[in-house]
Amino acid sequence: MKSLLYVATALAVFGLAFWAYQENYATQQVLKETRGLQREIGAAQVRLSVLRAEWAYLNRPDRLIELAELNFERLGLLPLRPDQFGRVDEVTYPVQPALQITQGVDVSGLNAASGEEVRP
């Protein structure tokens, strides 16, 4: 009986060792993938910062003014004038319909419809 217990224990130890071995390699593989993703994220952030710098460079006001002047006839652009802008008080907003009260409002602890005292 003891030998059967020893064999079962040895098999359990071997099984657990095999499981731990597989988990170790799976963990190492996930760590490699994570490092690769972190490198990709870093590279994407560098590319994004370069693109933002290029965008800021291309949208310089002096450059845009030159482009507008060069392409004036082809695009039909006109310079902005102060009278093209409106004021906030000139904006018409849609009229909100008035709220209709369909039931009485209990203000003093009395029911408005019946005149009875209401207790919570």
Does residue 48 sit within a domain? yes
Does residue 94 sit within a domain? no
Does residue 4 sit within a domain? no
Does residue 92 sit within a domain? no
- C-alpha to C-alpha distance for 86 and 91, rounded to whole angstroms: 8
- CB under 8 Å to 10, separation ≥6 — which residues? none
Does residue 8 sit within a domain? no
Per-residue model confidence as pLDDT tens digits over 85-115? 888 888 888 888 888 878 776 666 655 555 5
Indicate the SS3 state at residue 110. strand
- C-alpha to C-alpha distance for 78 and 30, rounded to whole angstroms: 59
pLDDT of residue 73: 84
Q: Within 13 Å, how many C-alpha atoms sit on residue 26's CB side?
A: 6
The count of structural domains within the chain is: 1
pLDDT of residue 82: 82
Of 117 and 24, the one with more pLDDT: 24
pLDDT of residue 1: 83
Does residue 58 sit within a domain? yes
User: Domain containing 38: what range?
Assistant: 33-76
**pLDDT at 116 exceeding the cut of 70:** no
Residue 10: band (very low, low, confident or very high) from pLDDT cuts 50, 70, 90: very high
Of 89 and 78, the one with more pLDDT: 89
Does residue 18 sit within a domain? no
Does residue 23 sit within a domain? no
Per-residue model confidence as pLDDT tens digits over 42-61? 999 999 999 999 999 999 99
